[in-house]
Chains A and B, each alone.
Chain A
């Protein structure tokens, strides 16, 4: 059960980081490129999205674990490594999801905001993004569900909490399976069932949010 908690903690942290990165990158990608700073940021965003979407999550995790985040790795609690790694990974996908949401909002909304004297950023924040978020809820939950399952990749690295080695859901199943090989499959099925339960719960939450957002409009 504790291992399920670590899996969910990593996923939750990654969703938060990914969402913040995603919104920022989407806004950068969509913004008018009127000055060199914005153009440079835009090129960075394109590069980031291309590289992250173009390489396997496991490879990214191992690269970060063994190089950039090596100082986090050596800390007694190194949960930050997978959280940041999955956050950066998910941010690229979320950026594209949110960008598609922003693009789906009628240009008239931005024009109306600007015609009242509101700045581009204010209109984005107060009018466009709230509407875009609503549009992207299904795609966003899709990404969150994928992310929850993809955290199973952390069983490739050594997780430490307070200097003690800990395991995520899949890691725990593997460990138990090694200890009692006869029950290996049973452990894997247990892990699978727990992932499934989490995903079903997420789906329920998604539908609840969708209903609530729809009611807001009426």
Chain B
């Protein structure tokens, strides 16, 4: 795993009961990269974003942040783990097929079951996990998230919203956090609102505060889940402006949005999702101007 990749999603599946929402999604996000995910509702784009900071637990697949594993080990993604399994040895002795074909077969037919495997296999899984994992709360502290419905803490003032997590998680003292808080609020022109409660703010103001709340944790990457979809039209602009400013400052961002103008202007890479898979991936020019997949073309015609 090269240091270049900040966030890595490998073979992600997510089922809600019998509903298969993600069907094997893989993608990397490099440090400083801005990735915009587009697609129709129900295509799995929000679910994928929510899996990235484990608000949803992936059914299969792995997520890596800065070379550390956030999810349990998915044995099918690691050939050496498959090779260490009893199933592999048994099939190899019986069928004697070559390595690659065996691995492919085990993966495709979901043949690894922890109960059937030996102690070596379990130890390997444990060792692999132990060597690589990052616990969920530390991961989330490094991954900012901005929600469609802002989700500011209603019982806390704007300033308390910004300082709660950094202070509770001992990233900063109360004084440092408040100093940083004022600095962030000045940046969005809302320093005079530091001591009011979120219910007095407009939608656009709430979302801008929510964005700087995630910044207060000095995240490595920020995930945006349809950040402008719940806003009145006249407030969309101010939020997009702030996001552009963040992008220009070099923040790594992953944005699920219906704002195609924003995607075209800011994205380094646009992903088009449909039916729980990434159908198309490329620069904004590639995806918007000459989409290869007919589904992409259809979608773009409908929204543009």
Q: Using a CB–CB distance below 8 Å, which chain A residues touch chain B? A: 106, 108-109, 111-119, 122, 126-127, 130-131, 134, 216-218
Which of B152, B156, B168 has the largest count of A CB atoms less than 10 A from its CB? Answer: B168
Given contacts A127-B155, A131-B154, 6 further A-B pairs with CB under 8 A are A113-B153, A113-B165, A115-B53, A115-B55, A115-B143, A218-B200
User: How many Å from the CB of B229 to the closest CB on chain A?
Assistant: 14
Q: Which of B79-87, B133-141, B176-184, B292-300 contacts A (4 or more CB under 8 A)?
A: B133-141
Contact assessment for B137 and A119 in the assembled complex, using a CB-CB cutoff below 8 Å: yes
Contact assessment for B165 and A117 in the assembled complex, using a CB-CB cutoff below 8 Å: yes
Interface residue B197 (Cβ < 8 Å from any Cβ of A): yes
Contact assessment for B197 and A106 in the assembled complex, using a CB-CB cutoff below 8 Å: no
Contact assessment for A109 and B153 in the assembled complex, using a CB-CB cutoff below 8 Å: yes
Contact assessment for B138 and A112 in the assembled complex, using a CB-CB cutoff below 8 Å: no
User: How many Å from the CB of B148 to the closest CB on chain A?
Assistant: 9
User: How many Å from the CB of A114 to the closest CB on chain B?
Assistant: 6
Contact assessment for B213 and A117 in the assembled complex, using a CB-CB cutoff below 8 Å: no
Q: Which of B149, B154, B199, B217 contacts A116 (CB 8 A)?
A: B217
Residue of B nearest to A216 (CB): B197
Contact assessment for B156 and A127 in the assembled complex, using a CB-CB cutoff below 8 Å: yes
Residue of A nearest to B143 (CB): A115
Contact assessment for B141 and A116 in the assembled complex, using a CB-CB cutoff below 8 Å: yes
Interface residue B169 (Cβ < 8 Å from any Cβ of A): yes
Q: Using a CB–CB distance below 8 Å, which chain B residues touch chain A? A: 53, 55, 137-145, 147, 149, 151-156, 164-165, 168-169, 197, 199-200, 210, 213-214, 217
Contact assessment for A116 and B138 in the assembled complex, using a CB-CB cutoff below 8 Å: no
Give Cα A126 to B168, complex, Å. Answer: 10
User: How many Å from the CB of B200 to the closest CB on chain A?
Assistant: 6
Give Cα A218 to B157, complex, Å. Answer: 10
Known: A117-B137, A117-B138. A218 touches B197 (CB 8 A): yes
Give Cα A117 to B133, complex, Å. Answer: 16
Complex contacts, B165 vs chain A, CB 8 Å: 113, 116-118
Complex contacts, B199 vs chain A, CB 8 Å: 217-218
User: How many Å from the CB of B161 to the closest CB on chain A?
Assistant: 9
Contact assessment for A217 and B197 in the assembled complex, using a CB-CB cutoff below 8 Å: yes
Contact assessment for A112 and B154 in the assembled complex, using a CB-CB cutoff below 8 Å: no
Contact assessment for A108 and B147 in the assembled complex, using a CB-CB cutoff below 8 Å: yes
User: How many Å from the CB of A117 to the closest CB on chain B?
Assistant: 3
Which of A112, A114, A118 has the largest count of B CB atoms less than 10 A from its CB? Answer: A112
User: How many Å from the CB of A116 to the closest CB on chain B?
Assistant: 4
Complex contacts, A115 vs chain B, CB 8 Å: 53, 55, 140, 143-145, 147, 214
Contact assessment for B164 and A118 in the assembled complex, using a CB-CB cutoff below 8 Å: yes
Give Cα A218 to B200, complex, Å. Answer: 6
Contact assessment for A114 and B140 in the assembled complex, using a CB-CB cutoff below 8 Å: yes
Give Cα A108 to B148, complex, Å. Answer: 10
Contact assessment for A117 and B217 in the assembled complex, using a CB-CB cutoff below 8 Å: yes
Complex contacts, B53 vs chain A, CB 8 Å: 115
